[in-house]
Amino acid sequence: MNPLDSPASYAVDASGMFGHIERLGAELEIAWAAHGTSPAAGLPPASLTLAGMGGSASAADYFAALVSRSAAIPVSVVRDYHLPGHVGPGSLLAAVSYSGTTEEALACYSEALERGASTFAVTSGGDLAALARSHGQPLCQIGYVAPPRAALAHMLTPLLALAPLTGTSAFTTDDIRTAASTHRELVENTLGRTIPTGANPAKQAALAIGPDTVPVIFAAEHLTAAAQRGKNQFAENAKTLAVFEEIPESTHNTVVSLEAAAGTPQAAIAFDSPLLGPGNRRRIDLTERLYEERGFPFRRFTLSGRSLLADLWEATAVTDFVSCYLAVLRGIDPTPTPNLTRVRTQAAAEAV
């Protein structure tokens, strides 16, 4: 029997990552009920900058992807120790750190305070929560216990509540329900563990990724945020290198890598949606054709297009499940990330 169709194979998931990824739709509704009203009220800022790293930064990416096209102000994401020069009085800095101890997010938050910018913190606690309280700044403290990458819904919903400050329409409970139900249907009917491999494209995609194969995730427009997170999911869940490529840019360079006769084997995953522009959908077609000619697997996941948020939640499910299925195939518990703990510990020690 295919190991992905054997319930015994999932004993390797000792820390319960499959439970987190299966519940993501439900958690979106729970998180919205808890954090759908933002404490960061006031006049619209001149700009909104979101600072974070890793799984927390994914929430920032998703928010930017959802509002940037219609926002009346610049919305940007920073993964670094320093803020852009324009951040200052009249700007809003939202620091997103699940642990509350991410040194890059803390550095940006402190820099924003020094420059006279308004701030908003999203965290489960730690130094970030303490810093926000000590300066009397708005804070959303979440209580969902999980690895940061599995807390996406709870990190995102406080940011969604900021949408009116950017000049875009407020997200509604109906918006959340649509995305949550779309995710739930996809898991229950297509991607979940009980769906056999013959009818499960996520299991098929995992099986197509050999031991020396690099997964390459292609996406355009709003779905680029999910592709970048997907790369991280392969690294953290399956402990394997992956790449994300943004269309149309990738059709101006990356596709040339397919010309090498002895190049690194690749297995592509592409996100498509009726909400994408026709030019980008054509570029996905062209990329698929090149992969087929090269003999590399190309798995195209066409999303429902019910909304931008629903698309993102579906794309999230795809790489969540593919990366976790790949972990199962390799006999790996998806949750532990000892190298991340080592880097954080050593970085903190060397900073003293």
Count CB atoms within 10 A of the CB of residue 181: 17
Tokens of 148: 């940061």
Distance, C-alpha 133 to centroid of its chain: 28
Cα distance between residue 279 and residue 107, in whole Å: 40
Cα distance between residue 292 and residue 43, in whole Å: 52
User: What is the per-residue pLDDT for 38?
Assistant: 74
* Domain 3-13+174-329, CATH number (from 3.40.50.10490, 3.60.10.10, 3.90.79.10, 3.40.190.290): 3.40.50.10490
User: What is the per-residue pLDDT for 42?
Assistant: 72
Q: What is Dmax (Cα atoms) for the chain?
A: 62
List the one residue out of 153, 154, 54, 40 whose CA is nearest residue 102: 54
pLDDT under 70: residue ranges of the chain: 41, 352
The CATH architecture assigned to 37-169 reads: 3-Layer(aba) Sandwich (3.40)
List the one residue out of 180, 161, 141 whose CA is nearest residue 29: 180
List the one residue out of 190, 197, 205 whose CA is nearest residue 238: 205
Domains 3-13+174-329 and 37-169 share a fold: yes
Tokens of 13: 């998931």
Cα distance between residue 179 and residue 190, in whole Å: 16
Cα distance between residue 221 and residue 29, in whole Å: 25
Residues in CB range of 238: below 8 A, 6 or more apart: 323, 324, 326, 327, 330, 332, 334
What sign for the dihedral angle of Cα 306, 204, 325, 272? negative
Q: At 47, give phi and psi (nearest 5°).
A: -160, 155
User: What is the per-residue pLDDT for 91?
Assistant: 97
User: What is the per-residue pLDDT for 352?
Assistant: 58
Domain boundaries, the chain: 3-13+174-329, 37-169
Three-class DSSP category at 273: coil
Q: If you search the block for the tokens 């299966």, which residue do you land on?
A: 22
User: What is the per-residue pLDDT for 260?
Assistant: 85
Count CB atoms within 10 A of the CB of residue 179: 28
Q: Quote the Cα angle for 81-86-92, to 5°.
A: 80
Rg over CA atoms, the chain: 20
